[in-house]
Structure 1
Amino acid sequence: MWKEYGEGYETCPSVKEFVDADLVSTYSLNDIEKYLLNSQELAATSSYPDAFTGEIMFGSDTYITDGVWLWLNNLPYYIKKYNVAIPKSFLEHIKNNNYIPVEEWTGDFQSLDFP
Protein backbone atom coordinates (compact mmCIF):
# COMPACT_ATOMS: atom_id res chain seq x y z
CA MET A 1 0.00 0.00 0.00
CA TRP A 2 1.30 3.42 -0.91
CA LYS A 3 0.39 6.79 0.52
CA GLU A 4 -0.14 7.93 -3.07
CA TYR A 5 -3.38 5.89 -3.07
CA GLY A 6 -4.95 8.86 -1.29
CA GLU A 7 -7.23 9.30 1.67
CA GLY A 8 -6.84 6.59 4.27
CA TYR A 9 -3.30 5.72 3.16
CA GLU A 10 -1.44 8.74 4.58
CA THR A 11 0.53 6.61 7.05
CA CYS A 12 1.78 4.23 4.35
CA PRO A 13 5.22 4.76 2.80
CA SER A 14 5.61 6.62 -0.47
CA VAL A 15 6.21 4.36 -3.46
CA LYS A 16 8.92 6.82 -4.51
CA GLU A 17 11.02 5.77 -1.50
CA PHE A 18 11.38 2.32 -3.07
CA VAL A 19 12.57 3.31 -6.55
CA ASP A 20 16.03 1.83 -7.06
CA ALA A 21 16.88 1.06 -10.69
CA ASP A 22 20.34 -0.25 -9.77
CA LEU A 23 18.93 -2.81 -7.35
CA VAL A 24 16.07 -3.84 -9.66
CA SER A 25 18.58 -4.37 -12.49
CA THR A 26 20.06 -7.22 -10.41
CA TYR A 27 16.71 -9.01 -10.11
CA SER A 28 15.81 -12.14 -11.98
CA LEU A 29 12.63 -10.38 -13.11
CA ASN A 30 10.90 -13.35 -14.74
CA ASP A 31 11.48 -15.55 -11.69
CA ILE A 32 10.33 -12.85 -9.27
CA GLU A 33 7.25 -12.08 -11.35
CA LYS A 34 6.28 -15.77 -11.49
CA TYR A 35 6.74 -16.05 -7.72
CA LEU A 36 4.71 -12.93 -7.01
CA LEU A 37 1.86 -13.87 -9.33
CA ASN A 38 1.73 -17.61 -8.61
CA SER A 39 1.51 -17.46 -4.84
CA GLN A 40 -1.82 -17.88 -3.09
CA GLU A 41 -4.57 -15.35 -3.72
CA LEU A 42 -6.42 -14.29 -0.58
CA ALA A 43 -8.89 -11.58 -1.56
CA ALA A 44 -9.72 -9.21 -4.40
CA THR A 45 -10.63 -5.55 -4.28
CA SER A 46 -11.32 -2.80 -6.77
CA SER A 47 -8.16 -1.61 -8.43
CA TYR A 48 -6.07 1.20 -7.04
CA PRO A 49 -4.92 4.08 -9.25
CA ASP A 50 -1.35 4.01 -10.54
CA ALA A 51 0.63 5.37 -7.58
CA PHE A 52 2.90 7.40 -9.88
CA THR A 53 0.45 8.85 -12.40
CA GLY A 54 -2.89 8.62 -10.61
CA GLU A 55 -4.27 6.97 -13.75
CA ILE A 56 -7.23 4.72 -13.08
CA MET A 57 -6.28 1.09 -13.59
CA PHE A 58 -8.98 -1.28 -14.79
CA GLY A 59 -9.84 -4.62 -13.28
CA SER A 60 -9.24 -5.57 -9.70
CA ASP A 61 -6.28 -5.93 -7.40
CA THR A 62 -5.72 -9.16 -5.52
CA TYR A 63 -3.97 -9.67 -2.20
CA ILE A 64 -1.44 -12.49 -2.55
CA THR A 65 0.68 -14.32 0.03
CA ASP A 66 3.39 -16.92 0.35
CA GLY A 67 2.57 -17.49 4.01
CA VAL A 68 5.09 -14.94 5.25
CA TRP A 69 4.63 -11.85 3.09
CA LEU A 70 1.50 -10.16 1.73
CA TRP A 71 1.40 -8.05 -1.45
CA LEU A 72 -0.89 -6.87 -4.22
CA ASN A 73 -0.83 -8.48 -7.64
CA ASN A 74 0.21 -5.11 -9.12
CA LEU A 75 3.65 -5.35 -7.48
CA PRO A 76 5.35 -6.82 -10.60
CA TYR A 77 3.91 -3.91 -12.62
CA TYR A 78 5.61 -1.41 -10.29
CA ILE A 79 8.87 -3.36 -10.32
CA LYS A 80 9.01 -3.56 -14.11
CA LYS A 81 7.59 -0.15 -15.05
CA TYR A 82 8.99 2.07 -12.29
CA ASN A 83 11.95 0.11 -10.83
CA VAL A 84 10.25 -0.23 -7.46
CA ALA A 85 12.47 -2.44 -5.32
CA ILE A 86 11.07 -4.89 -2.82
CA PRO A 87 12.57 -5.04 0.69
CA LYS A 88 15.85 -6.95 0.76
CA SER A 89 14.48 -9.38 3.34
CA PHE A 90 11.55 -10.16 1.01
CA LEU A 91 13.93 -10.70 -1.92
CA GLU A 92 16.10 -13.02 0.20
CA HIS A 93 12.99 -14.92 1.28
CA ILE A 94 12.00 -15.43 -2.38
CA LYS A 95 15.52 -16.56 -3.30
CA ASN A 96 15.67 -18.92 -0.30
CA ASN A 97 12.51 -20.54 -1.66
CA ASN A 98 14.24 -20.96 -5.04
CA TYR A 99 11.58 -18.68 -6.55
CA ILE A 100 8.95 -21.37 -5.88
CA PRO A 101 5.92 -20.25 -3.85
CA VAL A 102 4.23 -22.49 -1.31
CA GLU A 103 1.45 -24.60 -2.77
CA GLU A 104 -1.16 -23.80 -0.15
CA TRP A 105 -1.15 -21.55 2.86
CA THR A 106 -3.67 -21.92 5.69
CA GLY A 107 -2.29 -19.49 8.25
CA ASP A 108 -3.53 -16.31 9.92
CA PHE A 109 -3.98 -13.35 7.57
CA GLN A 110 -2.97 -10.82 10.24
CA SER A 111 0.39 -12.49 10.85
CA LEU A 112 1.72 -11.55 7.40
CA ASP A 113 4.32 -8.88 6.61
CA PHE A 114 3.32 -6.31 4.00
CA PRO A 115 6.25 -5.01 1.95
Structure 2
Amino acid sequence: MTTMATTPGENGSGRNWTFLTNHGHVLLAIARNPTARLRDVAEEVGVTERAAQAIVADLEAGGYLQRTRVGRRNEYTINPSGHFRHPAEADQQVGALLALFTTDPAAEPVTES
Protein backbone atom coordinates (compact mmCIF):
# COMPACT_ATOMS: atom_id res chain seq x y z
CA MET A 1 0.00 0.00 0.00
CA THR A 2 1.06 3.58 -0.59
CA THR A 3 2.05 5.58 2.46
CA MET A 4 1.16 9.24 2.96
CA ALA A 5 3.40 11.95 4.34
CA THR A 6 2.53 13.09 7.83
CA THR A 7 1.93 16.79 8.39
CA PRO A 8 2.46 18.09 11.92
CA GLY A 9 -0.63 19.68 13.42
CA GLU A 10 -0.79 22.68 15.74
CA ASN A 11 -0.43 20.49 18.82
CA GLY A 12 2.49 18.54 17.34
CA SER A 13 0.44 15.45 16.50
CA GLY A 14 0.71 14.07 12.99
CA ARG A 15 -2.38 13.88 10.77
CA ASN A 16 -2.51 12.14 7.42
CA TRP A 17 -4.22 14.08 4.66
CA THR A 18 -3.90 14.69 0.94
CA PHE A 19 -5.19 17.35 -1.44
CA LEU A 20 -7.06 14.78 -3.54
CA THR A 21 -9.78 12.44 -2.31
CA ASN A 22 -9.62 8.70 -2.82
CA HIS A 23 -12.13 9.18 -5.65
CA GLY A 24 -9.66 11.51 -7.36
CA HIS A 25 -6.78 9.11 -6.83
CA VAL A 26 -8.76 6.15 -8.23
CA LEU A 27 -9.79 8.19 -11.29
CA LEU A 28 -6.16 9.18 -11.90
CA ALA A 29 -4.92 5.60 -11.45
CA ILE A 30 -7.46 4.37 -13.99
CA ALA A 31 -6.61 7.23 -16.38
CA ARG A 32 -2.96 6.16 -16.24
CA ASN A 33 -3.81 2.49 -16.81
CA PRO A 34 -7.33 1.88 -18.19
CA THR A 35 -6.90 -1.91 -18.07
CA ALA A 36 -5.60 -2.09 -14.49
CA ARG A 37 -7.13 -4.62 -12.12
CA LEU A 38 -8.99 -3.03 -9.22
CA ARG A 39 -6.66 -4.88 -6.87
CA ASP A 40 -3.75 -2.94 -8.39
CA VAL A 41 -5.67 0.35 -8.36
CA ALA A 42 -6.51 -0.19 -4.69
CA GLU A 43 -2.87 -0.88 -3.84
CA GLU A 44 -1.69 2.22 -5.72
CA VAL A 45 -4.25 4.44 -3.98
CA GLY A 46 -3.82 2.87 -0.55
CA VAL A 47 -7.38 1.61 -0.05
CA THR A 48 -8.95 -1.83 0.15
CA GLU A 49 -10.11 -3.57 -3.01
CA ARG A 50 -13.67 -3.30 -1.70
CA ALA A 51 -13.27 0.48 -1.28
CA ALA A 52 -11.87 0.75 -4.82
CA GLN A 53 -14.91 -1.16 -6.13
CA ALA A 54 -17.27 1.22 -4.33
CA ILE A 55 -15.39 4.26 -5.66
CA VAL A 56 -15.49 2.92 -9.22
CA ALA A 57 -19.25 2.35 -8.82
CA ASP A 58 -19.61 5.98 -7.66
CA LEU A 59 -17.55 7.24 -10.61
CA GLU A 60 -19.60 5.15 -13.04
CA ALA A 61 -22.89 6.36 -11.56
CA GLY A 62 -21.63 9.96 -11.79
CA GLY A 63 -20.75 9.54 -15.47
CA TYR A 64 -17.00 10.00 -14.94
CA LEU A 65 -16.05 6.61 -16.34
CA GLN A 66 -17.50 3.67 -18.21
CA ARG A 67 -16.54 0.04 -17.66
CA THR A 68 -16.37 -2.36 -20.60
CA ARG A 69 -15.85 -6.08 -20.19
CA VAL A 70 -12.98 -7.36 -22.37
CA GLY A 71 -12.67 -11.11 -21.93
CA ARG A 72 -12.16 -11.73 -18.23
CA ARG A 73 -10.93 -8.18 -17.54
CA ASN A 74 -12.46 -4.72 -17.42
CA GLU A 75 -11.35 -1.76 -19.48
CA TYR A 76 -12.27 1.73 -18.36
CA THR A 77 -13.00 4.80 -20.46
CA ILE A 78 -12.76 8.17 -18.73
CA ASN A 79 -15.19 11.00 -19.50
CA PRO A 80 -12.89 14.06 -19.35
CA SER A 81 -15.79 16.46 -19.92
CA GLY A 82 -17.44 15.55 -16.61
CA HIS A 83 -17.55 18.48 -14.19
CA PHE A 84 -16.29 18.61 -10.62
CA ARG A 85 -19.00 17.97 -8.05
CA HIS A 86 -18.16 20.67 -5.51
CA PRO A 87 -19.99 23.95 -6.24
CA ALA A 88 -16.74 25.95 -6.03
CA GLU A 89 -15.27 24.00 -8.99
CA ALA A 90 -18.46 22.91 -10.78
CA ASP A 91 -17.55 25.00 -13.83
CA GLN A 92 -14.32 23.02 -14.33
CA GLN A 93 -13.99 19.71 -16.17
CA VAL A 94 -12.10 16.78 -14.65
CA GLY A 95 -10.10 16.51 -17.88
CA ALA A 96 -7.96 19.44 -16.70
CA LEU A 97 -7.05 17.54 -13.53
CA LEU A 98 -6.35 14.39 -15.52
CA ALA A 99 -4.11 16.31 -17.92
CA LEU A 100 -2.21 17.83 -15.02
CA PHE A 101 -1.38 14.47 -13.45
CA THR A 102 -1.19 12.14 -16.45
CA THR A 103 0.91 14.02 -19.00
CA ASP A 104 4.42 12.73 -19.45
CA PRO A 105 6.86 15.61 -18.84
CA ALA A 106 9.44 13.84 -21.01
CA ALA A 107 7.04 14.09 -23.96
CA GLU A 108 6.54 17.85 -23.50
CA PRO A 109 8.44 20.06 -25.96
CA VAL A 110 11.28 21.99 -24.37
CA THR A 111 11.24 25.72 -25.05
CA GLU A 112 14.44 27.68 -24.79
CA SER A 113 14.55 31.33 -23.83
TM-score, with structure 1 as normaliser: 0.24
- Structure with the higher fraction of residues in helix conformation: 2
